[in-house]
Amino acid sequence: MHPLFEPYRPQLDAHPWFGALPAELRDALAATAVPRRLAAGQVLFRRGDAPCGLYAVLSGALSVGAVDASGKEALLTVAEPMTWFGEIALFDELPRTHDAIALEDALLMHVPQAALQQLLDETPRYWRYLALLMAQKLRMSFMNVEALTLMPAAQRLAARLLMIAEGYGGISTRHRRIRLSQERLGAMLSLSRQTANQLLKELAARGVVRLHVGEIEIVDLNALRAASGAAHRAEDDLAGAGDARSDGDAHGAGDASRAHATRRRS
């Protein structure tokens, strides 16, 4: 393992995805990785670039998104420390889908495409773990699409803050201080900066968040969860599961009655 990575190894091992990998795979990824430093504003890759491997952010942060011809930004996510990304192109070997640009000076752990491919060729069962990383992100993407389609702006903003605070469902580290400007948060949610600012101020007035320059601090996670509608969705899921069990019990009771009647006739 490169000496630059050694101070970050405990944080890497505590990461929900990386820490759950077999020890030999964790060691192999760390051994084949090389350091990559980026200055603020430096481009790691652009949409359409050839696949170049897997990355983990060790320090700093990167924006992952796209900008159209008019300069309007569509921000997919902000990759903060211990975030892994770049695995999609490993599966389809197609060009990069988005731009990745350093928001501040950053240190990355880079597992080159060729080295990663060789590792997977030698031990095919490792593919499952890379697929798990991609599946977790796909699940989050589905949730974001649903939010954009169905949720009002205030609920959508609260849901995205909750998702970031809770580590994107296990693919990133949980944290209460989110390094994200109001403008970039708006870009994530297809909201103007003014709308994002107004909604954040409303949450701050209720004691849910505290606003800092370039940061949003989560003060009351339960209140944020309520504002996002997560509690109601969980109740609906439980109700649906209960209905399914009731239907199963009814079918089971009916089957048992029919079986008992058959035994009596015979």
CA torsion sign, 119 to 123 to 127 to 130?
negative
Identify the domain boundary among 129, 150, 171. Answer: 150
- For the chain, which residues score pLDDT lower than 70? 168-174, 230-266
The reported pLDDT for the residue numbered 39 is 98
User: Over 245-259, what HEC string results?
Assistant: HHHHHHHHHHHHHHH
The reported pLDDT for the residue numbered 72 is 78
Any domain includes 170? no
249 in the same domain as 145: no
How close are the terminal C-alpha atoms of the chain, in Å?
73
What is the per-residue pLDDT across 189-227, written as a single tens digit (0 to 9) for each?
A: 889 999 999 999 999 999 999 999 988 999 999 999 999
Query: Domain residues for 254?
Result: 229-265
Any domain includes 188? no
The reported pLDDT for the residue numbered 236 is 45
The reported pLDDT for the residue numbered 180 is 85
Q: Can you read off the two tokens belonging to residue 243?
A: 């209905």
The reported pLDDT for the residue numbered 248 is 53
Q: Can you read off the two tokens belonging to residue 120?
A: 């997977």
The reported pLDDT for the residue numbered 147 is 77
The 10 Å Cβ neighbour count of residue 177 is 12
Place of tokens 């975030």: 83
The reported pLDDT for the residue numbered 168 is 66
CATH of the domain at 3: 2.60.120.10
The reported pLDDT for the residue numbered 235 is 44
124 in the same domain as 4: yes
Any domain includes 98? yes
| C-alpha closest to that of 173 among 6, 17, 8 | 17
Identify the domain boundary among 130, 150, 170. Answer: 150
Number of domains in the chain: 2
Q: What's the whole-model pTM score?
A: 0.76
Any domain includes 88? yes
State the Cα–Cα distance between residues 162 and 155, nearest whole angstrom. Answer: 10
Any domain includes 182? no
Any domain includes 157? no
Q: Can you read off the two tokens belonging to residue 102?
A: 């350093």
Polymer length in residues for the chain: 266
| DSSP state, residue 125 | G
Identify the domain boundary among 115, 150, 185. Answer: 150
Any domain includes 59? yes
Q: Can you read off the two tokens belonging to residue 141?
A: 């993407």
Any domain includes 236? yes
